[in-house]
Structure 1
Amino acid sequence: MKNLKRMAIFTKVIEHGSMSAAARLLEMSPSAISQQIRYLEAENNVTLLHRSTRKLSLTETGKQYYYYCKQLCEVAEKAQALLDSEVKEPFGELRISAPVGLASYFISSFRDWSNHLPNLTISLYVQDQHIDLVENRIDLAIRVGEMPDSSYVASKISEMHMKLYASPSWIKNNQTIKHPNDLMNVNWLHLQSTNIKTPIQKFFLHSDTYKNHSLKIIPKYIVNNINILREMCEQGFGICTLSTFEAEESVYNGKIVPILPDWNIGKMNIWAVTPQRNFLSAKVRQAIELIQKKLN
């Protein structure tokens, strides 16, 4: 069918809400996208879209046409994904998005794997803020916390256990911390990736007695980069919350030590998130396996 490509373009325009968004996804110009839609309408002597300067809307015919085009595209994507999943040697570009602290921890597991794959290139986008997987052509995102409802596919691959840490110099120069109440007047370092309100509520659970305790804190220092936060903690600025992954190397080197080790302050789920709902390509599947093995 001569209109298969145009049907796919039409579907992406509707799914992503604009010509420009579809153009970025398909690596075409917005004018080329618009031209293909006009050809589709002209050849069939129908109007599929109502256009305005701000948005697009479907005509009644367009709604019915989109229903069948979407099914056609989904079947085509499943067919291609099936072929991709059977590739024994990953190739092409693998685009991964991950938080700074976790990326620093798991990236070493990629070295030997990628060295044996000469046709594979890895692009790593490291930032704590979530980015749009489709717009940025991300194959795999590693995310932390509770996953909101999304069109993406999320699989839990591990958990991130949180603890309090301080430097040996800070411990030497401050009062002994034996209970969460002792943390009321200390200098706190806090990681901020989005806008927050202060004070911040901290919850503690004793690992033996299961007694719980809550504490409201006002951070002395607010930092948007986990590496800088950890370095400030190492230099004795104050106490901070880190995952055991993010703190491992600094603890091993004696730069920071756990505070109140008998008190748990929570854990967060770690997710492997992909934009596809169907088969995963070999490069994505193997990357998830490597990261999961490192985190467990």
Structure 2
Amino acid sequence: MDLISSLLAFLRVAETGSFSVVASERGVTQPAVSRQVRALEEHVGMRLVQRSTTGVVLTEEGRNLLPAARNLVEAAESLSVSASPAQARPTGKVRLSLPAPLALHICGHARALLDSHPSLSLDMVVRDSTSNLIEDGLDLEVRLGPIDDSSLISRRVGMTSAFLVAAPSYLAGRPLPRSPQDLRNHECVVYSRWGKDDTWWFEASEGQFSVNVPCRLRANNASAVHQAVLGGNGIAILSHLMVADDLRTGRLVSLLPEFPPARLPLYIVYPSRRNLPLRTRVVIEFIAELLKADPAMRDRTAWPRPASGAPDAGRGQNAVGAALASVDAAGERR
């Protein structure tokens, strides 16, 4: 019996409550996973799981075994690094969850990571809401905003930067907003993630302030909001990663550049720092360096804006041009 492989199967069955789910994740048959768990039961001399009408549940012995099983798996994964750091190679799959804009950005640069580490693979879960890392079988997740879960390890890797945008077809025949308060007289497309999502926050020299916006169309996915705005359905706040090309080509127009949307901190979170597998550490460093290379995503970097005064089209476009130039510069350095 391969003890580590059986322990891994047992841990995932415990997390998912399903032999079939684990089999699908591993690309094997459901009986193969059952045999691995049964072999572990024979090895320890006790029943660890039992089937119920709602799935697979752990026995008391199975629950008691979980901490030791996790420790053994973590120790085994770090063994090669401890024994021979110079020869260690990241091997295996890293399963990570990311918001849609960042997932698209990373997909555009993943080739460099995968070419550098031929035995490494990525399984990306694209979602704009937070996950339960253990239940969803995730190694790490990129999150926006403060981290409230004290059980997770978090590493701050940058800040979001976004534009207030609309399509020319929507703006045609409508008065341009001259302050965030004017958005109350417009149709807004809301990107719903958490909390009161029809309250938009902006930055000014005096600090951050909020405006409640009307909404007739909302979506919990940034790509859907992006398409809705391109279709002329209203005004939205979207990541610079999604709209940079649209602003260059004129498919979208940046509004109120002197009142940029409030920035949010970006964190990478994962369940445990102890014996963190080399493959996971490599992916964490890759994401951190990728974001660091983008001036618009660095911590404490001001988003370009006009110096002062009332907004006008020319000065607004100058601010947009400066912002896009910073994005281009990041791409050239990569």
TM-score for the superposition, normalised by structure 2? 0.64
Give the Å deviation of 1:186.
0.8
8 Å CA contact 1:50, 1:57 repeated in 2: yes
Q: Provide the residue aligned with 1:269 in structure 2.
A: 265
Q: Provide the residue aligned with 2:183 in structure 1.
A: 183
Q: Is residue 200 of structure 2 the alignment partner of residue 202 of structure 1?
A: yes
Q: Provide the residue aligned with 2:283 in structure 1.
A: 284
- Indicate which of 242, 249, 261 corresponds to 2:245: 249
Q: Provide the residue aligned with 2:214 in structure 1.
A: 218
Range 154-163 or range 138-147, more displaced: 138-147
Any idea what the Cα deviations from partners look like across 1:6-37, whole Å, max 9, x if unmatched?
A: 55544554455454455455555443444444
Unmatched tracts of structure 2, length 5 or more:
299-334
Cα distance change, pair 176–85 in 1 and its aligned pair in 2 (3 A) = farther
- Matched position secondary structure for 1:267: coil
Higher strand share: 1
Q: Provide the residue aligned with 2:229 in structure 1.
A: 233
Distance (Å, rounded) in 1 between the aligned partners of 2:120 and 2:45? 46
Give the Å deviation of 1:260.
2.4
Cα distance change, pair 50–220 in 1 and its aligned pair in 2 (3 A) = closer
Any idea what the Cα deviations from partners look like across 1:22-69, whole Å, max 9, x if unmatched?
A: 54555554434444444554566544456543452433x555555544
Distance (Å, rounded) in 2 between the aligned partners of 1:123 and 1:3? 25
- Which residue identity does 1:208 align to in structure 2? S
8 Å CA contact 1:47, 1:62 repeated in 2: yes
Distance (Å, rounded) in 1 between the aligned partners of 2:136 and 2:253? 38
- Matched position secondary structure for 1:229: helix
Task: Count residues with an aligned counterpart.
Answer: 291
- Which residue identity does 1:291 align to in structure 2? L
Distance (Å, rounded) in 2 between the aligned partners of 1:86 and 1:176? 60
Q: Provide the residue aligned with 1:53 in structure 2.
A: 53
Range 247-256 or range 8-17, more displaced: 8-17
Give the Å deviation of 1:220.
2.6
Distance (Å, rounded) in 2 between the aligned partners of 1:121 and 1:133? 18
Cα distance change, pair 68–270 in 1 and its aligned pair in 2 (3 A) = closer
- Matched position secondary structure for 1:250: helix
- Matched position secondary structure for 2:186: coil
8 Å CA contact 1:187, 1:237 repeated in 2: yes
- Which residue identity does 1:56 align to in structure 2? V
Give the Å deviation of 1:159.
0.9
Range 228-237 or range 71-80, more displaced: 228-237
**Matches for 1:1-296 after TM superposition, within 5 Å:** 6=6, 9-24=9-24, 28-41=28-41, 46-49=46-49, 52-54=52-54, 55-59=56-60, 62=62, 64-80=64-80, 97-111=97-111, 114=114, 125-128=125-128, 141-149=141-149, 153-168=153-168, 170-171=170-171, 173-192=173-192, 200-205=198-203, 207-210=204-207, 212-215=209-212, 217-223=213-219, 225-234=221-230, 236-274=232-270, 277=273, 278-281=276-279, 283-292=282-291, 293-294=293-294, 295-296=297-298
Higher RCO, 1 or 2 (CA under 8 Å, sep at least 6)?
1
Any idea what the Cα deviations from partners look like across 1:231-257, whole Å, max 9, x if unmatched?
A: 543454321111233332222333333
Unmatched tracts of structure 1, length 5 or more:
none
- Which residue identity does 1:253 align to in structure 2? T
Distance (Å, rounded) in 1 between the aligned partners of 2:99 and 2:35? 39
8 Å CA contact 1:94, 1:283 repeated in 2: no
- Matched position secondary structure for 1:233: helix
TM-score for the superposition, normalised by structure 1? 0.71
Give the Å deviation of 1:73.
2.8
Any idea what the Cα deviations from partners look like across 1:121-157, whole Å, max 9, x if unmatched?
A: 6665545355676777666543333445286644221
Cα distance change, pair 84–111 in 1 and its aligned pair in 2 (3 A) = farther
- Matched position secondary structure for 1:102: helix
Distance (Å, rounded) in 2 between the aligned partners of 1:228 and 1:174? 24
Cα distance change, pair 72–121 in 1 and its aligned pair in 2 (3 A) = closer
8 Å CA contact 1:50, 1:56 repeated in 2: yes
Range 129-138 or range 235-244, more displaced: 129-138
Any idea what the Cα deviations from partners look like across 1:93-116, whole Å, max 9, x if unmatched?
A: 665543332233444444556566
8 Å CA contact 1:141, 1:273 repeated in 2: yes
Give the Å deviation of 1:76.
1.8
